[in-house]
Amino acid sequence: MEYNESEFLIETLVPKDELIISRTDLKGNITYANDTFAKISGYKIDELLGESHRILRHPDMPKRVFKNLWETIGLKEQWQGVIKNLRKDRGFYWVHATISGVYKNGQLIEFKSIRTPISFEEKLKYQKLYDEYRNIDKDNIRIIKYIN
Ligand SMILES: Cc1cc2nc3c(=O)[nH]c(=O)nc-3n(C[C@H](O)[C@H](O)[C@H](O)COP(=O)(O)O)c2cc1C
């Protein structure tokens, strides 16, 4: 697919008074998405349902963050962390995410995620931290290398 590097530079700000909510099956396929999730990610709800949550994976995200996420929720614990997500138009948005299990009669049936905005300072901090993680782990390099 052809793309222009500059597309990756556009940030969408997550509103403070709205929550981005989704649920997935146990493999991470989206089973529910609210309007705010669709609006901020640039997809229609119908385009998100049935897709893997990986559809939002931004190339700046280190593998180890998602490894930790899946290990944590696999132990039936709640995971909280900061995620940089990729929009349909290849722009990005930062969120603080809380991910945990959905139980029915004591049995784990789905996962749910609620996301809220983070501050500008936190975005800088996590961008730097995640750049370091990818560097240490020899993950992919950053797409945007030069900003003139
Ligand atoms: C409830 C739930 C919400 C998730 N939310 C996101 C998300 O917002 N962005 C994202 O990149 N991955 C999210 N993931 C993780 C993805 O399923 C996936 O592990 C990740 O994108 C990395 O892809 P990979 O596992 O193929 O390496 C979520 C997983 C679950 C279970």
Pick the more confident residue, 14 or 7: 14
Task: Determine the Cα–Cα distance for residues 123 and 59; give it in Å rounded to an integer.
Answer: 16
Question: Tokens 């998100």 label which residue?
Answer: 48
Averaged pLDDT, 41-64: 96
User: Ligand 1 centre from 69 Cα, in Å?
Assistant: 8
- Token representation of residue 16: 């403070």
Q: Computed from CA positions of residues 31, 34, 40, 44, in that sequence, does the dihedral angle turn out positive or negative? A: positive
Task: Determine the Cα–Cα distance for residues 59 and 85; give it in Å rounded to an integer.
Answer: 9
User: Ligand 1 centre from 51 Cα, in Å?
Assistant: 11
- Closest-lying ligand 1 atom to the alpha carbon of residue 111: 1
Closest residue by Cα to atom 10, ligand 1, is 57
How many Cβ atoms are within 10 Å of 116's Cβ, its own excluded? Answer: 14
2 pLDDT exceeds 60?
Answer: no
3-state DSSP assignment of residue 134: helix
- Closest-lying ligand 1 atom to the alpha carbon of residue 57: 11
pLDDT for the residue 71: 98
146 pLDDT exceeds 50?
Answer: no
Q: Kindly state the percentage of the chain with pLDDT values over 90.
A: 85
Answer yes or no: is the C-beta of 54 below 6 A from any ligand 1 atom.
yes
Reported as type and span, the H/E element at residue 121 is: helix 120-137
- Taking CA atoms, 142 is separated from 10, 41, 128, 131, in Å, by 15, 20, 11, 7
pLDDT for the residue 142: 65
79 pLDDT exceeds 90?
Answer: yes
Mutate to test the pocket of ligand 1, among 26, 27, 54 (most ligand atoms within 8 A of CB): 54
Report pLDDT digits (tens) over 118-134: 999 999 999 999 999 99
pLDDT for the residue 148: 45
Q: What is the CATH number of domain 17-137?
A: 3.30.450.20
23: pLDDT confidence band, cut at 50, 70 and 90?
A: very high
